[in-house]
Amino acid sequence: CIRDRAIGDVVGKAGCEFLRSKLPQIKKDYDIDLVIANGENSAEGNGITPHSANFLFSSGVDVITTGNHAFRRKEIYNYLSDNEYILRPANYPEGSTPGKGVCKIDMLKRNVIIVNLLGTIYMESLDNPLEKIDEILKHVSENDIVIVDFHAETTSEKRAMGFYLDGKVSAVFGTHTHVMTADESILKNGTGYITDVGMTGPINSVLGIKPEIIIKKLKEKMPVKFEYGEGACKMECVLFDIDLHTRKTVGIKRLIIT
Ligand code: FE2
């Protein structure tokens, strides 16, 4: 089996440091082979920078995925293109967009292909993610293990993607909403699935941000400066056990580390 661990959006310095303090031991305890984390909110301020990406990699993350905040910080553009193991959603326009949406890791004599896609409902109007994944899968061997981070807003779009890919990929997990869903399952053709992995960041927050700031914004409808929540953090993640031979998920478990 490959044990793959997906970590929900890592938010800010506090989220990054909490991940660094917990991940090494968890990798040992659960015998994890591959760690994928969504890092699009890992920089102080917003987005992802080379500094925050390096911090995640040096904390034990193998592949960083992103989403709608992938390009917030200009300093990450070259890094997205140069570093093999950081992804931006694959359905951005080809040619003009820095980076790539697919990467490959050689593991235990298998190729593990990681794909990052962005939803299009209440998000950017990018290429249709269902068509994009079809195109990507045409170039993937039947022997490859494929894992998809679908960064999307609506539960319907995410669940539809899960069923669409059931039996075609090993695992699909959702990110972006920063709230872990309780629908982890192995779909009928063997694809491991969860609508949202959740967040690594401050517990007393609205998606990582101080509650009073979000309440002010919702009440007064004027722009506000986001500040990260304070106090204790949690790390939310999902563990997929993937059979090397069948490439199906044989076990799935949600973890909330405090
Ligand atoms: Fe996002």
pLDDT above 90 for 70: yes
pLDDT at 133 over 90: yes
User: What pLDDT score does 128 carry?
Assistant: 98
Lowest mean pLDDT among 53-57, 163-167, 228-232: 228-232
How many whole angstroms from 67 Cα to the centroid of ligand 1? 5
Supply the pLDDT for residue 44.
Answer: 87
Q: Ligand 1 centroid to 72 CA: how many Å? A: 11
Amino acid at 185: S
67-76, 103-112, 164-173, 245-254: lowest mean pLDDT where? 103-112
Ligand 1 centroid distance, CA of 152 (Å): 7
Task: Give the whole-angstrom CA distance, residue 102 versus residue 90.
Answer: 7
2 pLDDT higher than 80:
no
For residues 228-251, average pLDDT: 95
Mean pLDDT, range 215-222, rounded to an integer = 97
Q: Exactly one of 51, 69, 151, 176 is catalytic; which is it?
A: 69
**What is residue 172's predicted lDDT score, i.e. its pLDDT?**
98
**How remote is the CA of residue 182 from the centroid of ligand 1, in Å?**
19
Instruction: Round the CA-based radius of gyration of the chain to a whole number and report it.
Output: 17
| pLDDT at site 189 | 98
Cα 210 to middle of ligand 1, angstroms:
17
Whether the predicted pLDDT of 239 surpasses 80: yes
Distance (Å, rounded) from C-alpha 130 to C-alpha 164?
A: 8
Q: How many CB atoms within 10 Å of residue 29?
A: 8
Take residue 105 and report the two structure tokens written for it: 């890791």
- The mean of the pLDDT values for the chain is 95
| Residue 98: burial class (beta carbons within 10 Å; 0-12, 13-18, 19+) | middle
Tell me if residue 69 is catalytic. yes
Residue 152: the pLDDT is 98
Confidence of residue 173 (pLDDT cuts 50, 70, 90): very high
Q: Residue 100 and residue 24: Cα distance in Å, rounded?
A: 28
Q: Mean of the pLDDT values across residues 210-235?
A: 95
What is the model's pLDDT at position 108?
77
